[in-house]
Amino acid sequence: MLIKNVRILGGEPVDIAVVNGLIAEIRPAGSAGPRQDGEGAAEAGLPEVVEGRGAIALPGLVDLHTHLREPGREDAETVQTGTQSAARGGYTAVHAMANTMPVADTAGVVEQVWRLGQEFGHCDVQPVGAVTVGLEGKQLAELGAMADSAARVRVFSDDGRCVDDAVLMRRALEYVKAFDGVVAQHAQEPKLTKDAQMNEGVISGRLGLSGWPAVAEEAIIARDCLLAAHVGSRLHVCHVSTAGSVEIIRWAKSKGWNVTAEVTPHHLLLTDELVEESPNGSYNPIYKVNPPLRTRADVEALRSALADGTIDVVATDHAPHPVEDKETEWAAAAMGMVGLETALSVVQEAMVDTGLLDWAGVAERMSAAPARIGRLPGHGRPLEVGAPANIVLYDPTARAEVDPSSFASKSRNTPYEGMTLPGRVLATFLRGRPTVLEGKLA
């Protein structure tokens, strides 16, 4: 197969020849090549030539933080629909969070998710294992058995809940060292956030909603950085949302400690002001998310931190919920937003069009770094000869209104409905096989 006229990381136009799922040749666009392009592709039912029309080519995106909801909440999402959503967003691999029903806290459940991914996945599905049994924060789960299973788990997280017991967190950090694993912490001190509804600040005061203080996140991050340093292990901080968290992570990195961090697209673009006033009215639960949307100053700090590498990764925290769980009163509504199909556009809007990040920076933070942190072989590699042909073609000049009814996800809880965002994923290739072509599932 030949992918014609694309610009790798926004560079000069090239043609990319793909053979047996690998990048076989990269040459200046339109120049004659020695090989018979597309030979054998037609017999395999694949397109022989894909016209890139000058699109930007990036390595297939990798998400460190996706909720696929299967098993247990197939009304919200399944492995099939979630990975279709991922493919449409340019992803070739996702890490599936463990807060399913049953919880992915045994080798049996992570293997079940892994097999569902093999069978129904439109991208690779890498299960995340729970840190504690049932996410209950009382007893360590079978981390070693999950690591040794067919699912080869390397990322462990109780995401949705915080591992707030310092002794358990220390043991988990010690335990994962044996197999080069990492503990991904959802940093939320539970007592400081009891009944919390939105960011604690001027607006929560005005609206009379109970506040979710920044310190609840920052205190856990500080503690866990110290624990990770103490036991010499790897810590990953999920969905960093405050300027103070950024400062703590910057300090931990300056010490040479093995700490990485992610930020979500929504925390790079949206603020708590939307809870008070938005095109969707006030108190609209579409903006209810964990951690909560913060202030403009926090958004600025998160953007700078992502630009300078203090924050390593953009992770979607794709959190599908059925309509009845979101379209209800604020206090009763579920927390979370879908994000896979809008992530690249939001990152372009917040980071690229603002001059904070170039396309090489986007590739590092949305593909290479998450693959490295998740120890995911075959993903996050630069687009060069010999690498697996995991590729996304992206047109940054397109602009369109976000239309949730077009999503492949089973859920529609996007905060961007009606917003005009830049960019469009034209095609996604998983080991040379198109999962998306012309913006549609292939």
379 annotated as ligand-binding: no
- Near Zn ion by CB under 5 A, which window of 186-194, 226-234, 391-399, 424-432? 186-194
**Which listed residue (77, 105, 158, 159) binds Zn ion by CB under 5 A?**
159
317 annotated as ligand-binding: yes
- Near Zn ion by CB under 5 A, which window of 128-136, 184-192, 196-204, 263-271? 184-192
Minimum CB–partner distance for residue 145 and Zn ion (Å):
24
Q: Does 158 bind Zn ion (CB under 5 A)?
A: no
HEC states along 212-225? ECHHHHHHHHHHHH
**Beta carbon nearer to Zn ion, 2 or 340:** 340
Minimum CB–partner distance for residue 8 and Zn ion (Å):
33
With beta carbons less than 8 A apart as the criterion, state whether 413 and 432 touch. no
99 annotated as ligand-binding: yes
Omega within 30 of 0 (cis) for the link into 291:
yes
With beta carbons less than 8 A apart as the criterion, state whether 161 and 135 touch. yes
Distance CA 133, CA 111 (A): 16
Minimum CB–partner distance for residue 266 and Zn ion (Å):
12
Reply yes or no on whether 317 is catalytic: yes
Size of the site for Zn ion (CB under 5 A): 2
Among 37, 317, 325, 395, the active-site one is: 317
Name the residue type at position 239. H
Minimum CB–partner distance for residue 419 and Zn ion (Å):
24
**Beta carbon nearer to Zn ion, 50 or 183:** 183
DSSP string, 53-116: EEEEEEEPEEEEEE---TTT-TTT--HHHHHHHHHHTTEEEEEEPS-SSS-S-SHHHHHHHHHH
HEC states along 312-337? CEECCCECCCCHHHHCCCHHHCCCCE
- The token duo for 279 is 């095109």
**Which listed residue (7, 69, 154, 186) binds Zn ion by CB under 5 A?**
186
**Beta carbon nearer to Zn ion, 41 or 335:** 335
Distance CA 214, CA 211 (A): 9
Closest residue to bound Zn ion by CB: 186
266 annotated as ligand-binding: no
Please report which helix (H) or strand (E) contains residue 356, including its range: none
Binding residues for substrate: 67-69, 99, 290, 321
Binding residues for Zn ion, rule: CB under 5 A, are 159, 186
